[in-house]
A and B are shown apart, each in its own frame.
Chain A
Amino acid sequence: MGGYGGLTLGAAADTGSGLLKIPRVLVGDLVVPLNTQLPLVLNNQADGDFEMWFLSIFRTNALLKMLWEEGGSTRRFVYSGAQPITAQFNGVLVDNLAGLVANNGAFPIAVPYVFPANRNMTFTLTDSSGAQNTFEIALHGYVLLPVSTGG
């Protein structure tokens, strides 16, 4: 268990895990027109897996809901807990997910989640504010770079 130990840059060589952790933020931006649903696809880079620790979200209006699905596995991070379902489910209000780093509002997901390299994440955003909504999500964490431990 916990095969993603690794060490941050500047630390001694981590021969145990063979991973070097470098801080990285994956950022996705989208302008959602009023009362519209739009997808936002964020792609993890090919150079390494991404270990996510924090979510941070900016929006211009709080009336914005989000669904989140991982490509490849098509696993959903957000799903409806209102059973029986009586209305269309557009996801969680983004303010219930996370806030701004500047306001000490980044959400610690507490269970660092590792996205494989090249993996897509799809966010589906639905505005109900009646005005254009500017949205940004930042996934804070580390890229896990394999390091050679051979002599």
Chain B
Amino acid sequence: MPNLWDTLFGAAGAPPPGTPGGPPRQLTLPRLMNLMVNPFAIRGGSAGNFQKDVYEYGSGAILRNGYKDPFPIWMVADLSLGAMKTARGHFPIPRNFYLLSLFASSSSNVKGGYKVVAYDTTRRMPFMLRPGNFNTLAGNGSSPLFMKVPYPIDGKEPKIKWTVASLESVTNNVQFGLYGFQVSQSNDHRGY
């Protein structure tokens, strides 16, 4: 009988979300929020060492065997914001894209850097219920927070809209971005 963890998140080696035999796709915000767990830290057992954990977890070919020809992609909003300014835009998501993590940086962080919200236009759901400080939502390349399960972003012309609000009283050079991968084909993108 599967335990609660496996019921919620799928056992190791289970098919990816949305595929036959796999867990359901994440459709609701509470589900998505509950999946914000670093799989490498959990499975590898040493939360402070991504380098080690990914190898331990990788022995089971974590994602490689579940997705067709994954291609890693970094998508970056690169902004120079004046004092206390707000910017809005969107990430144009390529077809068959799966989100793995966010990253964020701010040239000035005296008053908190900036706040950000992001919104999945296809599912019409925000990723954050209210604006969050960039450093509580994401780290940089040395401190990624990986989602437990890759999150498929689909639709005919999927977008992730974002709003970035600088909290600084000086010009702030901001980067906020997505890391994920594109696959050549996916059951999560049928019919488009």
Contacts and interface: CB of A to CB of B under 8 A. Distances in A.
A17 B11 CA distance: 25
A107 B63 CA distance: 16
Interface residues of A, number: 45
Contact of B177 (A53, A77, A81, A110): A81
A87 B80 CA distance: 9
Contacts of B162: 81
Nearest to B65: A2
Contact of A83 (B62, B89, B144, B177): B89
A107 B58 CA distance: 14
Chain B, interface residues (CB within 8 Å), range: 35 or more
A110 B146 contact: yes
Contacts of A95: 105, 140-142
Interface in A94-137: 94-101, 103-113
A120 B182 CA distance: 20
Given A93-B105, A104-B50, A77 B73 contact: yes
A5 B61 contact: yes
A45 interface: no
A108 B144 CA distance: 9
Interface of A: 1-2, 4-5, 53-55, 57, 65, 68, 75-84, 87, 89-101, 103-113
